[in-house]
Amino acid sequence: MTPPILGIWASGAQPAASVTSFESIATVSVGSGGAANVEFTSIPATYTHLQIRGIARSNRNFSSDTIFVQFNGDSSANYSLHLLRGDGSTASAYGAPTNDATQMDVMQIGSAQSTAGVFGGFVIDILDYANTNKYKTQRSLGGFDNNGNGVIGFCSGSWRNTNAITSILLDAHSTDTFQQYSHFALYGIKGAA
């Protein structure tokens, strides 16, 4: 008897996007002096969604750091966010469900107290970024391993603005800087053919 086919193969569903659905828009690699933030500007409105993939580490004197995001230079209280995190022994959740945040948390990364060379890896999806009839939503997944005591997290949030997103600012906590070899890549995701 042939064993049943399980999961996505059984459903007949196709993958959500093919490799050719992604187009590189811009990349940033942080040099030896570090970078206070990373900004993508002049983003064209020719895609359906955006995705940022990256690895990062900061100089924060702590066991980890947080990457924050702002759109179109908006630092007003126009963001809401939710996040779930786990470190292997403890799970935590946080939310700012109303538009009272001035930025969105997107991911935890390695920092000065992490083991040397430990970077956080992450993927950030920004959905319907050019649609001027709705607020913008982001979701992110990532984390880092610090020899068994790192963190993994899932974050989501909303920018309470209907403007098309033309710039994205990624910032480390407070006055911290992204360290050399941190790398950020912005992709445009095409709509269905």
Domain harbouring 120, CATH code: 2.60.120
Helix (H), strand (E) at residue 22 = strand 22-29
Residue 133 is part of which domain span?
Answer: 22-189
pLDDT digits (tens, 9 = 90+) for 28-74: 999 999 999 999 999 999 999 999 999 998 888 777 788 889 999 99
Q: Is residue 16 part of a domain?
A: no
101-122: pLDDT as tens digits: 788 888 888 787 787 888 889 9
- d(C-alpha 160, C-alpha 77), whole Å: 9
How far is 36 from 183, CA to CA, in rounded Å?
Answer: 13
**pTM of the shown model:** 0.84
Indicate whether 108 belongs to any domain: yes
What is the phi/psi pair of residue 38, to 5°? -130, 135
Write out the two tokens for 9.
């193969």
Give the integer Cα–Cα distance in Å for 90 and 149: 11
Concatenating the DSSP letter of every residue in 93-149 gives EEEEEEEEESSEEEEEEB-TTSPTT--EEEEEEEETTT-TTS-EEEEEEEEE-STT-
Report whether 134 contacts 162 (CB < 8 A). yes
> Residue 96 domain-assigned?
yes
Look at the chain and report how many structural domains it folds into.
1
Residue 180 lies in a domain: yes
